[in-house]
Each structure stands twice: as structure tokens, then as C-alpha cells.
Amino acid sequence: MCYRVECKKCGNYGWGGCGEHTATLYASIDKGKHCMCRPWPGVVIPKASTSTTTTTTTTTEAAATTGNAILLLLHQYI
């Protein structure tokens, strides 16, 4: 049987043991208390689509800001 282990990196619960009972173990751990430093073989972890959207938006905005800064620099030199 697999057992839960406290992760020293994130303070959440990871797993130890053979790796064949991770699905049962994953279900027994409270939401948000799962250690994601190691993969959970056999467990389907739903990805939060909202966080992905936020990351994409932030990256686009950052790129636009950088582009404007370069344009301003160019104007100063001309």
C-alpha cells in the first residue's frame, strides 16, 4: 500500500510506496493539500483553465509593454 508523506518543499502531502495506490491516497487527501512536486501516476488531475488564461494574458501584456518601450527608445535616438 502507498502512504502519504509530508513534502518538505511545499508542506503538502505527497506519496510514498509502490505507486499503485496513488488514486486512493490522492482521494483521501484534502483539496489543495496535494504535493505537486512529484507526479501522481494513475491520477487524473484536472487542470484549472482560469490560471492558464491569466498567464497567457499577462504574457501578452508584458510583450506589448516591452514593444512600446523599444519604440520610445528608438524615438529618443532619432
Residues that bind Zn ion (CB under 5 A): 1-2, 7, 9-10, 17-18, 20-21, 35, 37
Give the Cα separation of 55 and 50 in Å (integer). 9
Give the Cα separation of 7 and 78 in Å (integer). 56
Choose between 20 and 61: whose C-beta lies nearer to Zn ion.
20
The CA angle 27-54-13, to the nearest 5 degrees, is 25
Nearest distance from C-beta of residue 22 to Zn ion, angstroms: 7
Nearest distance from C-beta of residue 1 to Zn ion, angstroms: 5
Nearest distance from C-beta of residue 17 to Zn ion, angstroms: 4
